Structure 1
Amino acid sequence: MSPMKSSSGLNENIAGMLCYLFTFIGGIIFLAVEKRSRFVLFHALQSVTVFGLIMVGHVLSAFLPLFGPLVASLLSLLGIIVWLLTVISSLQGKWLKLPWVGDFAEKQLRHL
């Protein structure tokens, strides 16, 4: 567990977990509120990116004839798995870096 406090007043691990618990919206809120914790900012960026991509994928899958429902189902399953992994790991104070998305979030963090 992370004993450090974020600028929101919450422990870093709790704030990081909330970034994922409320998926895309939680990430946006903590991007707006957080001023100093790189841990929370990383998880907020990663949350916005991964769940934003999944939402876009769901929208695009509606335009796929025949395979659209299958793609949407697979995206839903992926979303649930990613959500569980990220909520649990951030609550434990871990920097779980997702493939591709984690690298993107890390690069963006350097510019904040």
Structure 2
Amino acid sequence: MSPFKSSIGLYENVAGFLCYLFAFVGGVFFIAIERRSRFVLFHALQSFMMFAGLMVFHMLSGFLPFIGIVVNLLLTLLGVTLWVIMMLASLQGKWLKLPLIGDMAEKQLNRM
């Protein structure tokens, strides 16, 4: 377990895990309340961006006739896979950075 605690008293890795466990809402929650831990803020931002992006692509794929069903299925599989991988990585205290989304989260974190 990570020896460092977030500003709300949780271990950083547990708070990072919760950012992904509660998907979009977990990310927003920790962005709003975390004040000290860059680890937690990074995972909160990445979780928010990842799940927001998946939601947008799910909505857009609904406008595609026939192939939209396949795209939705693939997005669901991608989302569940990323969800599990990111929960496990953050629980282990890893700064696993997703391509593109991780870079955007890191840039936003540097502005905070």
* TM-score of the superposed pair, with normalisation by structure 2: 0.98
Structure 1 segments (4+ residues) deviating >6 Å: none
Aligned counterparts of 1:56 and 1:95: Cα–Cα separation in 2: 25
Aligned counterparts of 1:51 and 1:10: Cα–Cα separation in 2: 23
Q: Please state whether the residue corresponding to 1:5 is helix, strand or coil.
A: coil
In structure 1, the partner of 2:55 is 55
The AA in structure 1 aligned to 2:31 is L
In structure 1, the partner of 2:43 is 43
Which consecutive residues of structure 1, in runs of 5 or more, have no partner in the other structure?
none
Deviation per CA, 1:21-41: give whole Å up to 9, x if none: 001100000000100100000
What RMSD, in angstroms, separates the aligned Cα atoms of the two structures? 0.5
Give the number of aligned pairs. 112
- Give the C-alpha shift of residue 8 in structure 1: 1.2
- Give the C-alpha shift of residue 66 in structure 1: 1.3
Which consecutive residues of structure 2, in runs of 5 or more, have no partner in the other structure?
none
Aligned counterparts of 1:2 and 1:77: Cα–Cα separation in 2: 30
Deviation per CA, 1:36-95: give whole Å up to 9, x if none: 100000000000001100000111111001111100000000000100100000000000
In structure 2, the partner of 1:68 is 68
* TM-score of the superposed pair, with normalisation by structure 1: 0.98
- Give the C-alpha shift of residue 2 in structure 1: 1.3
In structure 2, the partner of 1:84 is 84
Q: Percent identity?
A: 62
